[in-house]
């Protein structure tokens, strides 16, 4: 199960649980303290009864005068982005009949759509976003599409606590990305994107966002890159190449920043794996959209407001990282370690018309190496529908070049 949106109702329940848990921990510590104090009294009584003398050492504990503010290795990285990470508030209009279950029953509730339009705006869900650019008197914010989906109004809470209105520039459900705009006068800091292709497993990263909503805005968690390029199938059945991290990512972190030690955004946090297919509880498996793909998508959204994708007309899977046993399960006969395996070809699609077949392994597009789905998308999305690209494939151990005219999605 993938968690990727923090509904208002869930937020309230989660807040109650967390506050209860905190009270429980504090109460436990107090109880333990009392118990230790009682033991100390007993011990002291035993010592005094034996006429033993106690004394305090002249070498008493002291507070260090040295500041520890720079002891956190990732603190400078956090400072580079903290002012650019915001909370994104999805607001929806509630029907005027809400709270009156008998209104519709007796027919005086009126039209539901009209009531919804007249209804009061309320917070439906909250997520995170990153201010990445200041241009044309606007501050541009990247977030997840699912954070703003279905909204009647969007607000952004800045790092200083001020809440301002935001407008949707463009959205893309396929990559789960969206761009918002606010007045540039509110922008005090913008984040810089890093090169996600340079990531390595084990590299330290931090996740910055608003887990469980704006109440916990500017929360930072630390972890490592568990896998720089992981292929997953999303709930909408799209295959996506993502960064896997064990930095804590929770509902509300969606749309926030995954940051490297240089203070660069190398991913937009999108989802976490809460449990496996058999219901086993999972911890420490969060996923972020690689920054290189983010840059490609947001630039198109700002320019056109939407993504019109050129398509090859194939279903693919990256060979990188797939163990041999699983290759047999997928009936992958290629022995290549890198490349994009074509699992199926759409009838009458671009690839089919060019002669590509199921079982082919795409190794290059326009003479540029492709090792994962994100890199394939990056190259294709720099083309327009109708463009012709050269696809290099490995077929039964032989290399072949094919000209493919790109169709629309």
Tokens of 297: 């998508």
Set 125, 146, 151, 229: catalytic member = 146
E strands, 8-120, where? 85-93
- What are the helix and strand counts (H, E) for the chain? 8, 22
**Across 240-261, average pLDDT:** 94
Model confidence pLDDT, tens digit, residues 300-321: 999 999 888 888 999 888 888 7
Q: 304, 319, 343 — which closes off a domain?
A: 304
Q: Are residues 217 and 274 in the same domain?
A: yes
Q: Are residues 255 and 222 in the same domain?
A: yes
Contact criterion met (CB below 8 Å) for 397 and 325:
no
Contact criterion met (CB below 8 Å) for 255 and 243:
no
CA-closest candidate to residue 157, choices 207, 212, 215, 93:
215
Task: Give the per-residue pLDDT at 271.
Answer: 85
Task: Give the per-residue pLDDT at 27.
Answer: 28
Whether the full predicted model's pTM is greater than 0.85, yes or no, is no
Tokens of 216: 């916990």
- CA 2, chain centre distance (Å): 11
Range of the domain at 152: 75-96+121-186
Indicate the burial class of 120 (C-beta count within 10 angstroms; 0-12, 13-18, 19 or more): exposed
Q: Is residue 286 part of a domain?
A: yes
Q: Is residue 166 part of a domain?
A: yes
Q: Are residues 274 and 223 in the same domain?
A: yes
Q: Are residues 144 and 236 in the same domain?
A: no
Q: 244, 278, 304 — which closes off a domain?
A: 304
Q: Is the pLDDT of residue 282 over 80?
A: no
Query: Would residue 377 show up in a list of annotated catalytic residues for this protein?
Result: no
Task: Give the per-residue pLDDT at 234.
Answer: 67
**Across 164-177, average pLDDT:** 95
Task: Give the per-residue pLDDT at 408.
Answer: 81
Model confidence pLDDT, tens digit, residues 3-38: 454 544 444 444 433 332 322 233 222 222 222 233
Q: Is residue 102 part of a domain?
A: no
pLDDT, mean over the chain? 79
Contact criterion met (CB below 8 Å) for 215 and 209:
no
| CA–CA dist 176, 5 (Å, integer) | 12
Q: Is residue 150 part of a domain?
A: yes
Model confidence pLDDT, tens digit, residues 106-164: 444 445 555 556 689 999 999 999 999 999 999 999 999 999 999 999 999 999 999 99
Query: Would residue 98 show up in a list of annotated catalytic residues for this protein?
Result: no
Domain count, the chain: 3
Q: Is the pLDDT of residue 258 over 70?
A: yes
Query: Would residue 254 show up in a list of annotated catalytic residues for this protein?
Result: yes
Q: Are residues 298 and 356 in the same domain?
A: no
Set 95, 210, 229, 254: catalytic member = 254
Q: DSSP label at 409?
A: -
Set 87, 128, 176, 350: catalytic member = 176
């Amino acid at each position: 199960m993938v968690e990727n949106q923090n509904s208002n109702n869930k937020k309230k329940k989660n807040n109650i649980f967390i506050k209860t848990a905190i009270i429980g921990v504090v109460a436990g510590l107090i109880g333990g303290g009392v118990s230790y104090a009682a033991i100390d009294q007993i011990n002291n009584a035993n010592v005094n009864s034996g006429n033993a003398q106690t004394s305090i050492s002249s070498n008493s504990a002291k507070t260090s005068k040295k500041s520890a503010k720079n002891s956190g290795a990732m603190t400078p990285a956090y400072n580079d982005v903290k002012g650019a990470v915001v909370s994104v508030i999805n607001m929806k209009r509630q029907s005027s009949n809400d709270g009156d279950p008998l209104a519709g029953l007796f027919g005086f509730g009126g039209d539901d759509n009209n009531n919804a339009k007249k209804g009061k705006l309320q917070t439906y869900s909250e997520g995170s976003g990153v201010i990445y650019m200041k241009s044309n008197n606007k501050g541009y914010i990247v977030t997840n599409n699912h954070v703003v989906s279905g909204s009647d109004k969007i607000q952004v809470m800045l790092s200083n606590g001020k809440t301002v209105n935001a407008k949707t520039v463009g959205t893309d459900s396929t990559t789960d990305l969206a761009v918002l705009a606010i007045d540039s006068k509110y922008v005090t800091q913008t984040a810089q994107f890093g090169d996600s292709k340079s990531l390595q497993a084990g590299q330290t990263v931090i996740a910055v966002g608003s887990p469980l909503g704006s109440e916990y805005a500017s929360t930072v968690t630390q972890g490592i890159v568990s896998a720089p390029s992981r292929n997953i199938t999303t709930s909408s059945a799209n295959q996506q190449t993502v960064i896997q991290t064990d930095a804590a990512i929770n509902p509300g972190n969606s749309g926030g920043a995954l940051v490297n030690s240089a203070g660069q955004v190398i991913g937009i946090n999108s989802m976490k794996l809460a449990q496996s297919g058999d219901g086993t509880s999972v911890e420490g498996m969060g996923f972020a959209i690689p920054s290189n793909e983010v840059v490609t998508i947001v630039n198109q959204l700002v320019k056109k407001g939407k993504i019109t994708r050129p398509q090859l007309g194939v279903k693919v899977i990256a060979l990188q990282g797939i163990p041999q046993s699983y290759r047999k399960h997928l009936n992958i006969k290629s022995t290549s370690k890198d490349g994009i395996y074509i699992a199926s070809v759409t009838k009458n699609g671009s690839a089919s018309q060019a002669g590509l077949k199921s079982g082919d392994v795409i190794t290059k597009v326009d003479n540029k190496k492709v090792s994962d789905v994100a890199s394939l998308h990056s190259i294709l999305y720099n083309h327009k529908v109708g463009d012709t690209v050269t696809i290099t494939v490995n077929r039964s151990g032989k290399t072949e070049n094919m000209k493919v005219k790109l169709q629309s999605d």
